[in-house]
Amino acid sequence: MDALSQSLSAADALVLTQRADVVDIVIPSKLLTYMAAGRPVVVAVNPKSEAGRYVREADCGLVVPPEDPEALAKAIRSLSADPRSVTRLGANARAFAEQHFSKTVVLHKYDEFFRRICAQGTGEGLTLDK
């Protein structure tokens, strides 16, 4: 295990913050790394962001308003007071990462994507989600 993995695995929970005006179209790589560590995630992000959507979908942490330190502190305290939730959310994070973002799954999605492009002759209108 490398130093980063050891550090992340030693945490009780991991925090990701973004500015309020960030409504991204991709998942921050940091979030996937946190989920793979099997730890709950507290994200202070725009509720419409991909990070917020994935945390809610995976049921792997808490989503709080960005740029609100009091909400962030409250979320961290609530996890600290509930070790069972920490365990459950962390397990959910790891399971979601393995199910949706393992090397095998991602390579399979890319393979399907490129096969569709080749079959249609152009890449117009294609996304990895289909």
Structure tokens, 63: 């989503």
The answer to whether residue 90 scores a pLDDT higher than 80 is yes
* Beta-carbon count within 10 A of 76 CB: 16
pLDDT the model gives residue 52: 94
The answer to whether residue 129 scores a pLDDT higher than 80 is no
The answer to whether residue 130 scores a pLDDT higher than 60 is no
Adjacency order of strands within the sheet including 41-44 = 14-17, 41-44, 61-64
d(CA 123, CA 117): 5
Strand spans (E) along the chain: 14-17, 41-44, 61-64
Residue of 30, 44, 43, 39 whose CA lies nearest to 11: 39
Average pLDDT taken over every residue of the chain: 87
Q: By percentage, how much of the chain surpasses pLDDT 70?
A: 85
Q: Give the 3-state secondary structure of residue 62.
A: strand
Structural domains in the chain, CATH included, are 3-101 (3.40.50.2000)
Structure tokens, 116: 């569709």
d(CA 5, CA 87): 18
DSSP annotation of 44: E
